Amino acid sequence: MKKYVSLAVCSMQNTLSYRLSFVLNFLGSFIALLATYFLWRAIYDGQSELAGFDWNQMKSYLLVTFFANSMLSYYSESGITNKVMDGTVAMDLLKPLNFQKARLAESLGSCVLEGLLSALLISVLAIAAFGIPMPVDGVSGILFAISMLSSILVKFGIVYCTALICFYTTSGFGVIWARMAVTNLLSGALVPFAFFPDWLRNVAMALPFQGIVNTPTTIFLGMSDTREAILLIAVQWFWIAALWLLGRSMWGWAVRQITIHGG
Amino acid sequence: MSLIEAKGLRKVFRQAVKEPGLRGAVKHLFTQRYVDKHAVDGIDLTIREGETVAYVGPNGAGKSTTIKMLSGVLVPTSGEIRVDGFVPHKQRMENAVRIGAVFGQRTQLWWDIPVRESLNLLKDIYQVPEDAFRRNLDAFVELLGMEEFIHLSARKLSLGQRMRADLAAALLHDPKIVYLDEPTIGLDVSVKQKIRSFIKQMNRDKGTTLLLTTHDLGDIEDLCERLVIIDHGRIIYDGSLQAVKDAFARERTIHLQLGSELEDPSLLFSDLPEVGMDRTGPDRLAIRFDRFRITASEIVKRIITQADVADFHIDEPNIESIIRRVYEGSLDLELAAESPVAASREA
């Protein structure tokens, strides 16, 4: 266990040493957030409510989505993919480490920084401009925190399995983009599920992606009662376990595909 | 007891064949054709504990592929491997704590954190006890001259520094076996020397078993007792380094600088047809001879009586020229097998 903790700490250090690129990457998603913010403001112009969301709820939705998305950003995701792509996975195989646990440790390590930075930014925004309603009571606050942490693990599961696909395609970019597009749509990051047609909402609810954005936002906005919230979190954990197992068997398969060429 | 045992080891890579041009590329989208490349084609290799083995061969001969299979990074297509009783690609964790590896082209250090932190992290990963870690680290820092760069991150290191740090990283947990894949590639003489004496010391003090691939023949002569030559994925020689030298390195060359010009030097050895002579300058001679047929002192003696010798030195053939000749196919390795000291095994 200790080795994975050390790995997480090192990953944090690593992220810090790329602080400029890290911050730029972060600013990039922040600008995207502003763009969506103004887009939604234009949509809400003259409307008091859309699909059950009023403007204040929408603002909260955007901020929580931003928070969820800044965890395990492209930056940490490409870290896993790059390992597969540039053959450094060979170096990992030489170490007495479980590949999946090691990647999780690293991802969580950099998540801490990503989380801190975006939490900071969001608080500033919330106080300065947005003025968002916080969860009504302590219980839903705690449930939100749990669902947020679970969201990271769901996302890790998806990211990890996607990265392993690169063993097969031997190219990471397309796979990551496809994953991002699918995730953005089906997690509710682009548009809340409430705006979806019924069939698409049903599809999305049956997939793991909703655990990333839809679950924490629903709980944050108090759109579910305590029982429903616990159920949503249980679904998240179902997916965390399922994706972990999937990742494990994919890794077993991927190891057999490793074709690092050498002289 | 043999530490490493490989039997009938084979690795086949499947390579996609694309026809040239756009048409070929489009065609490849729909029908893929592959050819099999036999990188390693039936290798038997047994290495005892504490042995130092040089594993050499031309580019693409299958050296790295073999090492990757032995270290558990690649799964063999067929054949068996046991390393200290474990099957590397199946019992990866058990194998990993027993081996250390340096792949000259890649680093196992974390790119963006100081070397010291990387080593600390490795300590946790390999669960090296604190006192052993201290001891090793102090020794390595001194032997490899790492004080000047241990606080830098790996990305800032020069190649020579990085290689030294990588070596320290690979040996930190006192592995029984060390695989070195071109550890001195691209390094200057003094760094090479540091690395070699470090490896030698590890082998001597801790009995670390060493398998080394290299194109640097100085490495081999300095570090290894046993030589394994591989070509086209097959072992074409496996025996002691000395045996190869004895069998093929019979020729010596004496270079002479004469104080006065010799009128007709060709007369000197006219009675010995096996002695060759080249005039390398007006007052310089190079004399080639078989050291099993005539000794250097006989040659020198004969010259001193005839000419005024200002200076001379003897060239021994280096292992490089021998291996080159083996690669080119101009040396018959069956000869080595017949020589009493050499034990060559047909691959």
Question: Is the CB of residue B74 less than 8 Å from the CB of residue B54?
Answer: no
Q: Is the pLDDT of residue A85 over 60?
A: yes
Instruction: Identify whether residues B194 and B289 lie together within a single domain.
Output: no
Cβ contacts of A263 on chain B, cutoff 8 Å: 59-64
User: A20 CB near a chain B CB, below 8 Å?
Assistant: no
Rounded Cα distance, B287 and B314, in Å: 9
pLDDT of residue A121: 80
pLDDT of residue B123: 92
The reply to whether B19 falls in a domain is no
CB contact under 8 A, B113 and A10: yes
Pairing of strands B177-181, B209-213: parallel
Residue from A88, A93, A255 whose CB has the most chain B CBs within 10 Å, to mutate: A93
Q: How far apart are the first and last CA of chain A?
A: 36
Instruction: Identify whether residues B74 and B95 lie together within a single domain.
Output: yes
The reply to whether B347 falls in a domain is no
Cβ contacts of B125 on chain A, cutoff 8 Å: 3, 6-7, 95-97
Instruction: Identify whether residues B69 and B194 lie together within a single domain.
Output: yes
Provide the CATH number for the domain around residue B55.
3.40.50.300
Cβ contacts of B98 on chain A, cutoff 8 Å: none
Instruction: Identify whether residues B124 and B226 lie together within a single domain.
Output: yes
The reply to whether B276 falls in a domain is yes
Instruction: Identify whether residues B263 and B225 lie together within a single domain.
Output: no
Instruction: Identify whether residues B258 and B241 lie together within a single domain.
Output: no
DSSP characters for A19-83? HHHHHHHHHHHHHHHHHHHHHHHHHHTT-SEETTEEHHHHHHHHHHHHHHHHTT-HHHHHHHHHH
Residue from B112, B119, B155, B180 whose CB has the most chain A CBs within 10 Å, to mutate: B112
CB contact under 8 A, B111 and A14: yes
- Which of B89, B142, B5 shows the shortest CA–CA distance to A90? B89
The reply to whether B261 falls in a domain is yes
* pLDDT tens readout for residues B213-222: 988 888 888 8
Tell me which of B5 and A17 has the higher pLDDT: B5
CB contact under 8 A, B110 and A10: yes
Alpha carbon separation from A208 to A214, A215, B86, B338, B341 (Å, rounded)? 10, 10, 39, 68, 67
* pLDDT tens readout for residues B194-215: 889 999 999 999 999 999 998 8
Residue from A94, A168, A248 whose CB has the most chain B CBs within 10 Å, to mutate: A94
Instruction: Identify whether residues B240 and B254 lie together within a single domain.
Output: no
CB contact under 8 A, B75 and A261: no
A129 DSSP 8-state letter: I
Question: Is the CB of residue B172 less than 8 Å from the CB of residue B140?
Answer: yes
Domain span at B273? 250-315
Rounded Cα distance, A59 and A63, in Å: 6
Is the overall model pTM greater than 0.80, yes or no?
no
Which chain B residue lies closest to A96 (C-alpha atoms)? B93
The reply to whether B74 falls in a domain is yes
Segment A112-129 shows an average pLDDT of 79
Token digits of residue A108: 């969580």
The reply to whether B189 falls in a domain is yes
Pairing of strands B99-103, B251-258: unpaired
Rounded Cα distance, B203 and A86, in Å: 32
Per-residue pLDDT band at B25 (split at 50, 70, 90): confident
Type of residue found at B141: V
Token digits of residue B174: 């006192």
pLDDT of residue B333: 57
Count: domains in chain B: 2
Tell me which of B273 and B168 has the higher pLDDT: B168
Cβ contacts of B92 on chain A, cutoff 8 Å: 93, 96
The reply to whether B240 falls in a domain is yes
Cβ contacts of B117 on chain A, cutoff 8 Å: 10, 13
Provide the CATH number for the domain around residue B291.
3.30.70.260
Instruction: Identify whether residues B114 and B257 lie together within a single domain.
Output: no
Q: What angle do CA B184, B190, B195 make, to 5 degrees?
A: 45
How far is it between the farthest Cα atoms of chain A? 68
The reply to whether B236 falls in a domain is yes
Contacts of A242 (CB under 8 A, 6+ apart): A157, A208
In degrees and rounded to multiples of 5, residue B46 shows phi and psi of -125, 125
Q: Residue A262: which of B65, B111, B127 has the nearest Cβ?
A: B65
A108 DSSP 8-state letter: H
pLDDT of residue A48: 82
- What's the number of CA atoms in the CB half-sphere (13 Å) around residue A64? 33
Which chain B residue lies closest to A7 (C-alpha atoms)? B121
CB contact under 8 A, B96 and A7: no
Q: Is the pLDDT of residue A148 over 60?
A: yes
pLDDT of residue B346: 36
CB contact under 8 A, B113 and A256: no
Tell me the shortest Cα–Cα distance from B103 to chain A, in angstroms: 9
Segment A130-154 shows an average pLDDT of 81
Give the domain-ending residue among B185, B213, B245. Answer: B245
Cβ contacts of B106 on chain A, cutoff 8 Å: 87-88, 90-91
Instruction: Identify whether residues B113 and B65 lie together within a single domain.
Output: yes
In degrees and rounded to multiples of 5, residue A147 shows phi and psi of -65, -30
Q: Residue A13: which of B113, B124, B126 has the nearest Cβ?
A: B113
Question: Is the CB of residue A142 less than 8 Å from the CB of residue A119?
Answer: no
Give the domain-ending residue among B245, B261, B284. Answer: B245
pLDDT of residue A164: 84
Instruction: Identify whether residues B91 and B225 lie together within a single domain.
Output: yes
Give the domain-ending residue among B245, B269, B284. Answer: B245
Distance from the Cα of residue A208 to its chain's centroid: 12
Instruction: Identify whether residues B240 and B297 lie together within a single domain.
Output: no
* pLDDT tens readout for residues B255-309: 888 887 766 767 777 777 778 888 787 788 888 888 788 888 888 888 888 778 8
Instruction: Identify whether residues B172 and B241 lie together within a single domain.
Output: yes
Rounded Cα distance, B205 and A139, in Å: 63
Segment A34-43 shows an average pLDDT of 88
Rounded Cα distance, A156 and A162, in Å: 10
In degrees and rounded to multiples of 5, residue B11 shows phi and psi of -135, 125
